[in-house]
Amino acid sequence: MINLTAINKSYRVGELVLPVLRDVSLEVPAGEFVAIMGPSGSGKTTLLNIIGCLDSIDSGCYSLADEAVDRASDDDLARIRNQHIGFVFQLFNLIPRISALRNVELPMIYMGIPPVERRKRAMEALERMAIADRADHAPSQLSGGQQQRVAIARALVNTPELLVADEPTGSLDSNTGREIMLLFSELNQAGTTIVMVTHEEDIAAYAGRTIRLLDGVIAADDET
């Protein structure tokens, strides 16, 4: 599913070149649930962004679902994100002024799905997340857990093979966090590959595999 070979990534801060990832190679077969952990500055979010095709690499090879991401054009990357990847963020990133339903519709707009079909599928996704009764609510009218459910519905609505989550429980209380993780486990059992960044051990415990990053290199890769 995910195939990273000798990835290098650095950021330029003024004159300084700051290496973030150094020669990282990683393979994630389809159907895995991977947690990426590591202290802040270790490069875990950068790695996640690269896996999610949001960020580019300086050198190395990356293929996702048999597409050569490192050689893809801007438009191709947009299409790959649209069709193969669903995103879940720590701060949910729902568009504030539109309803939950319309937020879930968003990826389908860029896929070119007609409105009626879009509405139907968005509603189904919300039902799967058990949040359909709040379809007409604006994000500000929802609790954190509810917002994250809407965000997950949005991530799944285009039925992507890969779910990329950046601290999905980071702004939720532990009970709600646990609920979200149970959802993730269900999704994973249904076949979705999940890559998740977290810094909480008990959240990482839901994943079947934990990768620990330290100073831009993989320090440990454990099956649990």
Partner 1 sequence: MLSFIFDRFNQALYGLKDNRRRTLLSVLGIAVGIAAVMAVGTISKGGNYLIFSELETFGLNSAWVFRDRGDKDPHRMVRTGSGIDNDDYLAVSSGCCPAVRRISAVLHGSIGKRIVIQAINRYSNAQVLGVDVSLTTIANDVVLQGRPFRARDIASRRAVAILGPTAAADLFGSASPIGRAFRIGNRKFITIGVLEEKSRDFLASIGSSGGQDANNRILIPYTTLQQMQGHKQISYLQAEAVTQAQANAAAEQIIAVLKRHNGRNYAYKSETMATYITTTARILDGVAMIGIIAASVSLLVGGMGIMNIMSTSVLERTREIGLRKAVGARQRDIMQQFLLEAVVISTLGGMIGLSLGTVASIVLAEVTGFPLAPSFTVIVIALVVSLAVGIISGYLPARRAARLHPVEALRYE
Task: By CB under 8 A, name the binding residues for partner 1.
Answer: 49, 52, 54-55, 74-75, 78-79, 81-83, 87, 89, 93, 95, 97-98, 106-107, 109-112, 114-115, 154, 158
Least distance from partner 1 to the Cβ atom of residue 149, Å: 17
Q: Which is nearer to partner 1, 49 or 63 (CB)?
A: 49
Q: Which is nearer to partner 1, 118 or 206 (CB)?
A: 118
CA atoms within 13 A on the CB side of 185: 12
Q: Are 163 and 156 in contact (CB under 8 A)?
A: yes
Q: Which is nearer to partner 1, 14 or 112 (CB)?
A: 112
Q: Which is nearer to partner 1, 87 or 206 (CB)?
A: 87
Least distance from partner 1 to the Cβ atom of residue 161, Å: 14
CA distance 210 to 224: 7
CA distance 208 to 30: 13
Q: Phi/psi of residue 105, each to 5°?
A: -70, -25
Least distance from partner 1 to the Cβ atom of residue 55, Å: 5
Q: What is the residue-wise DSSP string for 63-131?
A: EETTEEGGG--HHHHHHHHHHHEEEE-TT----TTS-HHHHHHHHHHHHT--HHHHHHHHHHHHHHTT-
Least distance from partner 1 to the Cβ atom of residue 74, Å: 6
CA distance 31 to 74: 27
Least distance from partner 1 to the Cβ atom of residue 75, Å: 5
Q: Which is nearer to partner 1, 137 or 178 (CB)?
A: 137
CA distance 198 to 115: 36
Q: Which is nearer to partner 1, 192 or 210 (CB)?
A: 192
CA distance 48 to 59: 16
Least distance from partner 1 to the Cβ atom of residue 180, Å: 19
CA distance 7 to 17: 16
